[in-house]
Amino acid sequence: MASPDPRRLSLNTATVKEQWTLAQAIEGCARHGIRGIAPWRDKLAELGLQKAVSLIKAHDLRVTGLCRGGFFTAKDWLDDNRRAIEEAHELQADCLVLVVGGLPAGSKDLGKARERIRESIALILPEAQAAGVPLAIEPLHPMQAADRACVNTLEQALDLCDALGEGIGVAVDVYHVWWDPKLEEQIARAGRKRILGYHICDWLVPTRDLLNDRGMMGDGVIDLPRIRGSIEAAGYAGMHEVEIFSERDWWRRDADEVLRICRERFASVT
Ligand code: ZN
């Protein structure tokens, strides 16, 4: 399989969040020839939305996603999601990534939580569409169903999309979905229309932390070329966003080294 086009590489800023501010990440991408960026909203708030918009524009980067909206089972979800939509609009982001939220405190009712998520997305979807912001549901690995997202498979996310209609799709993050026996059929089902983002990293064996022990592409067990093949066969033509939460390794390294290795591995193992 041919290497992916290096111009399709994007950096999710979580990958260097301990080392760099958003301004540094934008400049780092430009320096390393990385053409896309996906900022997190805490870093965006630090820099200021308008400054971020002009810096991203000055370096001609594409915003492959804004992280994140969602958490629909939290108390202040509506205002927070409205702000996120506005920010994604200003950034002209390809999508607003939704991490939908887990069980409300004290609840054991997964069905009810999932129902609330569907209703909440239905409420904000017209506002997102009016703002020209596609919403991307990111199914999360089931180990995070309780605390972060109780939408856990691509099939479940696509069923939600089908129920909700236009203006919504999915972010396919290999870390969360690589194990799924229905992955390929569901990627094909999603097609170009529903796949709004593609996130890459690797699954380490052993994994030492549920959230912050992701691996660099090539260091784990995910068959990245195979998944890329499915994504491309489905018609996805967007960017490939490196997203690595790594308390013990990549967050401790020099960020320029991290970006250099991201570029190398993107070309050699994905
Ligand atoms: Zn992701």
Q: What is the 109 CA–ligand 1 centroid distance (Å)?
A: 25
pLDDT above 90: residue 174: yes
Contact 251, 18 (CB under 8 A): yes
Average pLDDT of the residues in 208-219: 96
The whole-number pLDDT of residue 20 equals 98
**C-alpha of residue 256 to centroid of ligand 1, in Å:** 21
In whole angstroms, give the CA distance from residue 155 to residue 260: 35
Please report the pLDDT score of residue 67 as a whole number.
98
Gap from CA of 78 to ligand 1 centroid (Å): 22
Q: What's the 223 CA to ligand 1 centre distance in angstroms?
A: 17
Distance (angstroms) between ligand 1 centre and the Cα of 99 equals 9
CA of 237 to the centre of ligand 1 (A): 17
Arithmetic mean of pLDDT over the chain: 97
The answer as to whether 214 is a domain residue is: yes
Establish whether the linkage from the previous residue to 206 is cis, with ω within 30° of 0: yes
In angstroms, what is the span from residue 143 Cα to ligand 1's centroid?
15
CATH value at residue 93: 3.20.20.150
Q: Is 235 inside a domain boundary?
A: yes
Tell me, in angstroms, the distance from the centre of ligand 1 to residue 184's CA: 18
Residue 171 CA to ligand 1 centre (angstroms): 7
Q: Cα of 119 to ligand 1 centre, how many Å?
A: 23
pLDDT for res 259:
98
Q: Which two tokens stand for residue 49?
A: 């939305």
50 domain-assigned: yes
Residue 32 within a domain: yes
Q: Looking at the domain assignment, is residue 54 inside a domain? A: yes
How far away, in angstroms, is 24 Cα from ligand 1 center? 21
pLDDT higher than threshold 90 for residue 186: yes
Evaluate whether residue 13 is within a structural domain. yes
Percent of the chain with pLDDT strictly greater than 90: 97
> Taking 90 as the threshold, does the pLDDT of residue 75 lie above it?
no
90 lies in some domain: yes
Q: What is the model's pLDDT at position 62? A: 98
Report if residue 1 sits inside a domain.
Answer: no
Q: What average pLDDT does this structure show over 17-37?
A: 98
Domain count, the chain: 1
Distance 136 CA to ligand 1 centre (A): 10
Question: For the segment 127-151, what is each residue's pLDDT rounded down to a tens digit?
Answer: 999 999 999 999 999 999 999 999 9
Residues with CB under 5 A from ligand 1 (ion): 173, 199, 243
For residue 23, the enclosing domain spans: 6-269
Contacts of 187 (CB under 8 A, 6+ apart): 154, 172, 195, 227, 230, 231, 233, 234
Confidence of residue 1 (pLDDT cuts 50, 70, 90): confident
55 C-alpha vs ligand 1 centroid, how far in Å? 23
Measure 175 CA to ligand 1 centroid, in angstroms.
Answer: 8
How far apart are the CA of 145 and the centre of ligand 1, in A? Answer: 15
Instruction: Using a pLDDT cut of 70, give the percent of the chain over it.
Output: 100
Q: Is the pLDDT of residue 249 over 90?
A: yes
pLDDT at 111: 97
CA of 176 to the centre of ligand 1 (A): 8
Q: Does the pLDDT of residue 33 top 90, yes or no?
A: yes
